């Protein structure tokens, strides 16, 4: 069995200045890829120590430049996902010794700026989350406050929210927060999921065991590489050819229905885009 539908990498990072940039996009296309959801890198990656919401703009604009470059190369579409990486909280609290209230205010200001890009039609979704590493209770509480503010931003813009969080398979608490904020929990996506999860939509890392778990569960899911495009870590997390290769593997294994879910139904349900059309509408 073969798959002749779209092939979507739902979460990766690209860098036109310091990374492989266009070459990575070309590699994705040559392997059969058609659509990309490009997520901004953390603010400090762009050499910016943020002091105000406006300071996040440099990273957001760099991401839009990547999307423009990808649009010229892809047979399908590219979309920007913009927001504030949750690890920034630790940098602010520990490295810069900022107090928690100021750190929270700064991160929420970055989310507000990202929401402006969504409102202007320049980004399709927001990104937020909470630390995926151990932190003290007060830091965890602050991180959750920022996450809940991101949900309120997503509600105002009626857009999806991608989350970078701790590992696990039960996110029903965040689903309740989403519903309370007025966001359909299906439109809140757990990035780097290891398989099916409770509460939110998983974006499954494109490793065979993780994909097999999602396929067997018969749930709505995406496929992603979380490609970092970092010259110091070539190929991390997974390379740009990985999703097209895993699509071929799933097709050869007879899982065409799962591919329809990951590359057509999930983008339509969560992002309201049609990946079978060139313009994505």
Radius of gyration (C-alpha) of the chain in whole angstroms: 18
Beta carbons within 10 angstroms of residue 51's beta carbon: 12
pLDDT of 104 above 80: yes
> What is the residue extent of each domain of the chain?
8-271
Nearest to 162 by CA among 279, 22, 171: 171
| Furthest C-alpha separation in the chain | 57
Look-up: residue for tokens 């909280």? 89
How does pLDDT run across 31-54, given as a tens digit for each residue?
999 999 999 999 999 999 999 999
How does pLDDT run across 121-157, given as a tens digit for each residue?
999 999 999 999 999 999 999 999 999 999 999 999 9
Confidence (pLDDT) at 277: 85
Average pLDDT over residues 146-173: 98
Confidence (pLDDT) at 235: 84
pLDDT of 66 above 70: yes
pLDDT of 279 above 80: no
Are the CB atoms for 125 and 40 separated by under 8 Å?
A: no
C-alpha triplet 101, 61, 83: angle, nearest 5°: 35
Give the DSSP per-residue string, 230-253. Answer: -TTSTT-SS-TTHHHHHHHHHHHT
How does pLDDT run across 234-253, given as a tens digit for each residue?
889 999 999 999 999 999 99
C-alpha 38/C-alpha 14 separation (Å) is 7
How does pLDDT run across 184-231, given as a tens digit for each residue?
999 999 999 999 999 999 999 999 999 999 999 999 999 999 999 999
C-alpha triplet 200, 8, 22: angle, nearest 5°: 125
Superfamily of domain 8-271: Metal-dependent hydrolases (3.20.20.140)
pLDDT of 281 above 80: no
pLDDT of 73 above 70: yes
């Amino acid at each position: 069995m073969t798959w002749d539908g779209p092939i979507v990498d739902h979460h990766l990072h690209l860098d036109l200045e310091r990374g492989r940039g266009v070459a990575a996009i070309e590699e994705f296309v040559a392997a059969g890829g058609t659509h990309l959801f490009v997520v901004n890198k953390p603010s400090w990656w762009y050499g910016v120590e943020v002091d105000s919401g406006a300071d996040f703009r440099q990273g957001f604009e760099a991401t839009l430049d990547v999307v423009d470059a990808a649009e010229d190369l892809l047979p399908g579409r590219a979309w920007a996902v913009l927001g504030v990486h949750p690890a920034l909280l630790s940098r602010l609290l520990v490295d810069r010794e900022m107090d928690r209230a100021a750190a929270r205010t700064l991160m929420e200001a970055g989310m507000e700026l990202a929401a402006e890009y969504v409102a202007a039609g320049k980004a399709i979704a927001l990104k937020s989350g909470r630390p995926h590493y151990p932190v003290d209770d007060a830091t965890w509480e602050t991180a959750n406050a920022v996450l809940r503010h991101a949900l309120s931003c997503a509600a105002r813009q009626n857009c999806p929210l991608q989350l970078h969080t701790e590992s696990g398979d039960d996110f029903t608490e965040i689903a309740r927060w989403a519903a309370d904020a007025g966001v359909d929990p299906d439109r809140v996506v757990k990035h780097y999921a290891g398989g099916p999860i409770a509460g939110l939509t998983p974006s499954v890392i494109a490793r065979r065991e993780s994909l097999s778990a999602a396929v067997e569960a018969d749930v709505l899911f995406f496929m992603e590489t979380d490609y970092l495009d970092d010259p110091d870590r070539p190929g991390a997390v997974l390379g740009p050819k990985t999703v097209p290769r895993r699509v071929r593997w799933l097709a050869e294994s007879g899982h065409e229905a799962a591919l329809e879910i990951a590359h057509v139904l999930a983008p339509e349900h969560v992002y309201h885009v049609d990946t079978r059309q060139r313009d994505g509408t």
